[in-house]
Structure 1
């Protein structure tokens, strides 16, 4: 005899949905997995299905637009739809829209719903609230009306207003640059200079965005203050590490999270979403490089050449670099709207990953190998901490991986391009992309291992329940 399932002890909703999403179950099982809401003759089942589909679409859009991978967004839609009685549910997402279809109990006509995603904004705090809502839905803690009400509270609240709402992103981008300046070999002068440059660039980017200027031109203009500040500081104080100002000033603008998400989506088979994110990241990346190279090239024309010394790199793990890693990670977490209780763990994870990166590099390993080991460390520790805190690891691993970015190679590539050494510059950019891919794969690998262990434990637990 098989025991009835205890929903309070059900595995996480993402782990429950993955076998279906990845095609590990036969199509004959694609109906509703639990107890159907049987048709009792009520005439409102079609309306019930429409309300469920509306909730599913809203949650799927929120998950994807606030930073969740495509696979997690699809899983959240699937679990929500089936928890409220829809059967044969088929959710799908791309970077620009979400779609779901399914059958309400007793209704022969399928219900369809779709929504266009017009804006993406990393917001880990709201993402965590949506994930908690999906978790509550998956364990049958909420009725449909209660779930719709909670979703409305989370998603329909008034937008932040006032001066801080406009200055928040530029200020935190400046703090990201200040930390990065210390990480990549600078001192207090370089850190403050990078802060001013990044703040100015992000402020210009926000002004242009409010006037509807396309992303390419916004980010090209936003990257220019980093080059201008570096040239000015080098002209006034040639002994300063102006390279650190360039790298730190643009790191906050680079679409690293988007690129990592693109790699992650491609690894899990969501190729359309991955392609959309990849093109989005490449567009912004090209714009940032264009802005910096234009300024550095103009500086070279008037005789203000920045040094080509490859000294700009990850420093040792003592002194200013440690402070920089902590500031870097906390600023990234705050800018991504991670909850304040996640800032300290994220800083600790970043410091651990940075220590591994420097240590492995000191042993003579290549930058790719060192980055792979460090990224795997960040991902593994992030998964463990998130599991203990019963939350998603994304708000911990994204700030944790930020100090691992290849700043030295990026600077040399930018300088090569500005000086007309195009083949060398393009080769450097390819290396930057390769290191970023290694970061994404290393973090994704630990997540996959965690999911595999959860699936194995769940299978063992279910086999023990069969008497």
Structure 2
């Protein structure tokens, strides 16, 4: 094998690994650092790495008088699969300590990318239902509201999966999901059943927000990858606007049919803390299953999410606004997730994203839409609060990762090179001398 072929095989391996990381929600800084580490370890010094939201580029020039070898891959498929993310992360760690050679790593990457999902579809639908039920319990719903929220979330998952198979853009699937949830609530409001339809809508809004790239977009913005950050933020905004459109359409249909229901969350009391903690744990564990997370991480995800959400609830009960309370809870999630990820051999990103799901501002979004629909401009304040909570969550978990990472000499060198915390990929890696 000549040098050009050897270089191409190394670049191809790094690109395939980067594509899997990027398509499963890893930040651009983590993808860049991982691809650079692989190339350096396999003998390609000073490889140029360029990462955007849709394209990965690697270029290596062995000498000044030699033509550079440049290869690209496009990220076209995006579906969260934390089983693949974990497998790739473990493979990279093994490769960088010479536990596996390049050819075996390439064969393993091909196997990971072509292997089916670890859980059956019915279990994923059930997990989405569990997520909706957990959110309903978290925001004060009784067992009837939990049951309806679980059924609505499961129906939304099936609907969005069918629309995805028809290659419908994310915006329209979000509109369809939010519209379905709101129409279910409208139908319930027309019955004499003693339940709060608005809580059902709020719970399903959280399930629609779950899995969006909040953490990745803020991480890219904070670490200097502004083009990728803009693309991720735009994707999140379009998906969120789809939710707003769907809920607004549903409320409009309800008003046209003479069925109106207002949000009445009641007064939260400290005595509700057990329900808040339990609902958050159920919600986070359900989302982790729906994202194909390894089974070994479900217990720590539930414990961390329950503790962090309980912390935010207690802070709010003691007079702290929602956004600062969410930020404090997010910092705690980021700090604990780093150690938990190392202990359970999963990327911290899996724990972080799952644990912030119960804190997503579904209630604020619905409150804002309901008020705006009634020509009450105070609904804008609720929407601003929802945006502030989302930003606080994403920035908070990254700050927690900053605090949690080691402060030794090697880690400081790596932090200066990456300009940000690592949520995927090894913190330290040996390289060949």
Q: Same fold (TM over 0.5)?
A: yes
Is 1:404 aligned to 2:362, yes or no? no
1:214 positional shift: 2.1
Equivalent residue for 1:90? 48
1:353 aligns with 2:311: no
- Look at both structures and tell me which one has the larger radius of gyration over its CA atoms: 1
Match of 1:73 among 21, 27, 31: 31
Counterpart contact for 2:304–2:355, Cα < 8 Å: yes
309-318 vs 240-249, which moves further: 309-318
Structure 1 runs not aligned, ≥5 long: 1-42, 463-467
1:103 partnered with 2:57:
no
Residue aligning to 1:152:
110
- Say if 1:310 and 1:412, in contact at 8 Å, map to a contact too: no
SS in 2 for 1:285: helix
CA distance in 2, matches of 1:106, 1:156: 39
Q: Does 1:449 align with 2:399?
A: no
Q: Given the alignment of the two structures, is residue 59 of structure 1 paired with residue 17 of structure 2, yes or no?
A: yes
Matched residues in 1 for 2:247 and 2:267: separation? Answer: 17
Give yes or no for the alignment of 1:336 onto 2:291.
yes
Q: Which residue of 2 aligns with 1:430?
A: 384
Q: Distance in 1 between matches of 2:264 and 2:248?
A: 17
Q: TM-score, normalised by structure 2?
A: 0.89
Query: Alignment RMSD, CA only?
Result: 2.4
Q: What CA distance in whole angstroms lies between the structure 2 residues aligned with 1:228 and 1:60?
A: 41
Encode CA deviations 1:217-258: one digit per residue, 9 max, x unaligned.
221111112111212222223642222101112211125541
Shift of 1:420: 3.7
Once the two structures are TM-superposed, the CA of residue 385 in structure 1 deviates from its matched residue by 1.8
1:314 shift after superposition: 9.2
Counterpart of 2:155 (choices 176, 185, 200) is 200
| Runs of at least 5 residues in structure 2 that lack an aligned partner in the other structure | 414-427, 429-433
Number of aligned residues: 414
Sort the Cα spacing of 1:70 and 1:340 in 2 relative to 1 into closer, same or farther, 3 A: same
How far does residue 303 in structure 1 lie from its aligned partner after superposition? 2.1
Higher RCO, 1 or 2 (CA under 8 Å, sep at least 6)?
Answer: 2
Q: 1:180 to 1:313 in 2, by over 3 A?
A: farther
Q: Distance in 2 between matches of 1:334 and 1:255?
A: 12
- Shifted more, 49-58 versus 192-201: the winner is 192-201
Which of residues 56, 70, 77 in structure 2 aligns to 1:112? 70
1:386 maps to 2:341: yes
Instruction: Please give the alpha-carbon distance, in whole angstroms, between the structure 2 residues aligned to 1:176 and 1:362.
Output: 24
- Structure 1: how far apart are the matches of 2:193 and 2:4? 73
